[in-house]
Amino acid sequence: MKDIDLSIGDGEFLIILGPSGCGKSTLLRLIAGFDKATSGDVRVGGRSVVAPGMDRGMVFQDLENSLYPWLSARENVGFGLRVNRVPNPERKQRTDEALQMVNLSIHGDKFPDNLSGGMKQRVQIARMLAMRPDIMLMDEPFAALDAQTRHVMQQQLVAIWTEVKRTAIYVTHDIREALNLGQRIVLMTAGPNAGIKQEYLVPLTYPRNQVASTYLNLFTAISRDIEEEVTKVWS
């Protein structure tokens, strides 16, 4: 990646969109503090990011390897509170609250092996919510789910974001998903030396009306721009 200059507002829902291999996940990992940039830096609230921190929560794309399979859904959600030695009444209350936000209260005692893909991702989201991070980072969390589940999850996520009023940074390669979720969409150019190609504001209310003309116009514009990038790689 090269020459990326991006500011994200407090409470914003930002989408990082781009073709495969453009470095959108890498950008997210830089923000999370998992990787270090060779030059330049990432600042959160004025402070440079040097390592992962509790102010930035993460939801991984991988369904199978991101939860702790030896812990129940509830224990997974409470893991962060446990390692931070949050005392029990509060821990229980925040865990229950997070499970409720993702509609998993009745499945709390199940283990990840016994949960569907969509449920696993909801546990991941609840695990993040329980920590009340300032920034919610999500790396294609619904990419491995079927289309119907994905759509329902998108609506749930918007509802959660509206409720918690935290910054959300969401990586996807799916234009429709980007338009259903984001207030602002950053389209990346194809790698190597990927950068930001274009930014789009989505001036629409939630839930998004997928046949509104603004929606359709944005869809067409973004499709055309992405296609340009993909063709560049192929030619």
Partner 1 sequence: MRNMKELRNLLQGPGVRLWAAILSVLFGMALWEIAARLWIDPFFLPPLSAIFLGAFELLKKGLLLENIRISLVRILSGFFLGSLVAIPLGLIIGRSLVMRSIFDPYIHFLRFIPALALTSLFLVWFGVGELAKIFQVMYATGFVVVMSTATGVVTTHKNKVLAAQTLGASPWQIFWLVIVPSAIPSIYVGMRLALAGSFLVIVAVEMLAAESGLGYLIWTSKIYFKIDWMFVGIFLLGALGLLADYLWKLVGQHVLRRYVRESANY
State in Å, rounded, how far the first CA of the chain is from the last one.
Answer: 20
Going by C-alpha positions, the residue among 112, 74, 109 that lies closest to residue 93 is: 74
Phi, psi of 22 (to 5 degrees): -90, -5
Sign of the four-CA dihedral 88, 93, 96, 101: negative
How far apart (Å, rounded) are the C-alpha atoms in residues 30 and 13? 18
Shortest approach of partner 1 to residue 144 CB, angstroms? 13
Place of tokens 């329902």: 152
When the beta carbons of 81 and 175 are compared against partner 1, the nearer one is: 81
117 binds partner 1 (CB under 8 A): no
Contact 91, 81 (CB under 8 A): yes
**Contact pick of 80, 108, 118, 141 for partner 1 (by CB under 8 A):** 80
Shortest approach of partner 1 to residue 88 CB, angstroms? 17
In the region spanning residues 6 to 65, those forming contacts with partner 1, defined by CB under 8 A, are: 32-34, 51-54, 56-58, 60, 62, 65
84 binds partner 1 (CB under 8 A): yes
Chain positions contacting partner 1, by CB under 8 A: 32-34, 51-54, 56-58, 60, 62, 65-66, 68-71, 79-80, 83-84, 111, 113, 127-128, 131, 133
